[in-house]
A and B are shown apart, each in its own frame.
Chain A
């Protein structure tokens, strides 16, 4: 470990300094842990993606075609549970956050490296428990585990719920680590206002992970207790209240929606500044709007329950509060657009994904305002309009940013360049495929097609066919991305330290970085985006 600090051999880096699988599985290096998360999350993404393709294939035609109704419910449940708990929630924070947050603030590691490794193991235990239910009685509750059905189903819901609880613990530990790192490990000169906006976004996310996830934990334990002991808290037959489950569940899961999108906003801030070669517009506004979104997110959960029988007054209050989220979100949007204005924009693949994010997230956000409107939501509730809305946010937003971030930081993580032409092709497939898949679902929802059903009336057939074809385009796009990654790893040219000419700290160290990140302890004298 001390070797790199004494003589700086440029060929020694965090990947090749220690060898063997054991050196990875016991590594306390945040960069290696980030890569371990990357491998696991990408594997789970493959599972979740296959489930999604299965859902769309069944919906290609009305009636039963490739699977039974029960199997469809299981596909839908695993698609949702895997994508939420194992892909999008850990995705950007645990992979890119782990790798770059410490370097961004000029630290040698996260505050608690052993805790960081532990959180990967905890995550894997939870994820494998969740996957193991595939070999038991498959779960068919949907990822939200709504009572009373989740109490009664014969599927292995208890095991799945415990798995989600364990993955929640991992999420808490990661968040805790990041908060302490940002508070305590910034290098000399790295004031809060000199941190990259990616760090601000991950920091806001970490606060949400820390405050919201314990409530999900206890909710899921109560559900497990309900199934095992029949306590009756959520069971109307015993004087309990199934809607209370929804309150508890969304008290976590709505902030969790921002756990999923805030890190993406952080990535996009980095990409837009770097590829516009311009100081980001409204740094403080973007930084504080992340915290603003995090704060408001705790008071909007009731918008999932407009038609669950909560009082009209509550509905009106939640409707107003939900629209409030639009304010900090729009602040970000305008600042990104203002950054683009008169920038020296280059359309490299990461930037394409960032611009794709702006388009798709815009649609996702505005339809969110429509759904926040009480009267409109009564019509749209539980239709494909909602499905399209949150996919525009989660896939069009988070996944686009994750892809852009992967390409942007690939040279730094692996020290290799990838095939830029092919990377642009993946963008074309994913962007077009995404819109072909999900835009028709807005129309289907407005026409009244309910979500989660395995069958539909013939009037919905043509739009469903278009949607399914779109899902194939997305699938092809991700297959090509997989090729781009493997090809880059095997045959990529050696990457320079700073291929994009960006200003944040990770680009000032070699690619890939040395084990302790910096050969000399960094001292920061300027902001992260001082391009001109």
Chain B
């Protein structure tokens, strides 16, 4: 409807129901934060279920965590923390009007996401190779598990890391979208709302991983 996109002009045309570009920016930012609340609550449900069953079966969770390679998880944690830095840098550079530098920062952020996903891919395929499937597909006798319900741990592992991985993929797609628009010249020091919104999303996804890493890899 109204023009949200403006091409290389420094006058951003805000939507008709806002008073000013600033009004639009603050409202959009509040919307993003409200959405982040729902993301945290959704993962919160998974965390609660995790804590309940970890409390009941600490040994089973320890056995499951032992079959994960903490170095992979730790490396991925560093990659994501670095990507949060490049994301924040990208927003800062657009605010300062250095769009070319911002393109590089955003591209680095996508690269970090890709490294994270490639590592996850190797972790997953390795688990499948060992027969460490979730739930009923985990053959306890074949993998020689001590705990009969080890499948529950891997249920949590695949659900939590899979849900997180899905968000990383969505985040990468969103960053690619704002990267494209930055190159096209849509953003400038007076208008960068989508970049900031995507940035908030990316930081929250990183934050969730920082909780997932010790819960899945280091527990026991």
Give the interface of A toward B (CB within 8 A). 1, 28, 107-109, 111-113, 115, 172, 176-177, 179-180, 183-185, 210-211, 213-215, 217-219, 221-222, 225-226, 229-233, 238-241, 244, 248, 516
Report yes or no: A229 in contact with B137, Cβ–Cβ below 8 A.
yes
Min CB gap A107→B, angstroms: 6
Q: Which of B34, B46, B52 has the most CB of A within 10 A?
A: B34
30 CB contacts below 8 A, A to B, read A107-B17, A108-B17, A111-B17, A176-B34, A177-B31, A180-B27, A211-B37, A211-B38, A211-B41, A214-B38, A214-B39, A214-B41, A217-B45, A218-B43, A222-B46, A222-B49, A225-B135, A229-B135, A229-B155, A229-B158, A231-B155, A231-B159, A232-B136, A232-B149, A233-B155, A238-B152, A239-B56, A239-B149, A240-B152, A241-B52
Report yes or no: A231 in contact with B31, Cβ–Cβ below 8 A.
no
Q: Mark B8-52, 1 if CB is under 8 A from A, else 0.
A: 000000011110000100111011001101110111111001001
Report yes or no: A109 in contact with B41, Cβ–Cβ below 8 A.
no
Report yes or no: B46 in contact with A516, Cβ–Cβ below 8 A.
no
Report yes or no: B31 in contact with A230, Cβ–Cβ below 8 A.
no
Chain B residues lying within 8 Å of A172, measured Cβ to Cβ, are 38
Q: Which of B27, B28, B38 has the most CB of A within 10 A?
A: B38
B143 within 8 A of A: no
Chain A residues lying within 8 Å of B49, measured Cβ to Cβ, are 222, 233, 244, 248
Question: Which one, A112, A210, A238, contacts B38 given CB within 8 A?
Answer: A210
With contacts A231-B152, A232-B155 taken as known, whether A1 is within 8 angstroms of B2 at the C-beta atoms is: yes
Question: Which one, B23, B41, B148, B159, contacts A225 given CB within 8 A?
Answer: B159
Please report the number of residue pairs spanning A and B whose Cβ atoms sit closer than 8 angstroms. 118
Chain A residues lying within 8 Å of B56, measured Cβ to Cβ, are 239
Chain A residues lying within 8 Å of B43, measured Cβ to Cβ, are 218
Report yes or no: B23 in contact with A184, Cβ–Cβ below 8 A.
yes
Report yes or no: B136 in contact with A230, Cβ–Cβ below 8 A.
yes
Q: A214-B45, A231-B151 are in contact. List 4 more A-B contacts (CB 8 A).
A: A184-B27, A218-B45, A221-B159, A232-B135
Chain A residues lying within 8 Å of B38, measured Cβ to Cβ, are 172, 176, 210-211, 213-214
Min CB gap A436→B, angstroms: 42
A426 to B30, CA, bound (A): 43
The 8 closest A-B pairs by CB, nearest first: A231-B155, A230-B136, A218-B45, A108-B17, A229-B135, A214-B42, A214-B41, A230-B135
Chain B residues lying within 8 Å of A111, measured Cβ to Cβ, are 17, 27, 31
Question: Which one, A109, A185, A232, contacts B151 given CB within 8 A?
Answer: A232
Report yes or no: A113 in contact with B15, Cβ–Cβ below 8 A.
yes
Min CB gap A162→B, angstroms: 15
Chain A residues lying within 8 Å of B159, measured Cβ to Cβ, are 221-222, 225, 231
Min CB gap B76→A, angstroms: 23
Chain B residues lying within 8 Å of A218, measured Cβ to Cβ, are 42-46
A210 to B148, CA, bound (A): 38
Chain B residues lying within 8 Å of A180, measured Cβ to Cβ, are 27, 30-31, 34
With contacts A113-B15, A210-B37, A233-B152 taken as known, whether A1 is within 8 angstroms of B30 at the C-beta atoms is: no
Question: Which one, A109, A229, A230, A244, contacts B17 given CB within 8 A?
Answer: A109
Report yes or no: A231 in contact with B34, Cβ–Cβ below 8 A.
no
A513 to B2, CA, bound (A): 19
A179 to B15, CA, bound (A): 18
A240 to B151, CA, bound (A): 11
B220 within 8 A of A: no
B1 within 8 A of A: yes
With contacts A214-B38, A232-B135 taken as known, whether A176 is within 8 angstroms of B31 at the C-beta atoms is: yes
Report yes or no: B149 in contact with A238, Cβ–Cβ below 8 A.
yes
With contacts A232-B135, A238-B149 taken as known, whether A185 is within 8 angstroms of B39 at the C-beta atoms is: no
A285 to B96, CA, bound (A): 48
With contacts A233-B152, A248-B45 taken as known, whether A516 is within 8 angstroms of B34 at the C-beta atoms is: no
Question: Which one, A107, A108, A210, A239, contacts B34 given CB within 8 A?
Answer: A210
B124 within 8 A of A: no
Chain B residues lying within 8 Å of A177, measured Cβ to Cβ, are 31
Min CB gap A309→B, angstroms: 15
Report yes or no: A219 in contact with B45, Cβ–Cβ below 8 A.
yes
B53 within 8 A of A: yes
Report yes or no: B16 in contact with A516, Cβ–Cβ below 8 A.
yes
Chain B residues lying within 8 Å of A244, measured Cβ to Cβ, are 49, 52
Question: Which one, B28, B34, B44, B151, contacts A215 given CB within 8 A?
Answer: B44
Min CB gap B7→A, angstroms: 19
Report yes or no: B137 in contact with A230, Cβ–Cβ below 8 A.
yes
B57 within 8 A of A: yes
Chain B residues lying within 8 Å of A183, measured Cβ to Cβ, are 27, 30
Chain A residues lying within 8 Å of B155, measured Cβ to Cβ, are 225, 229, 231-233
Min CB gap B28→A, angstroms: 8
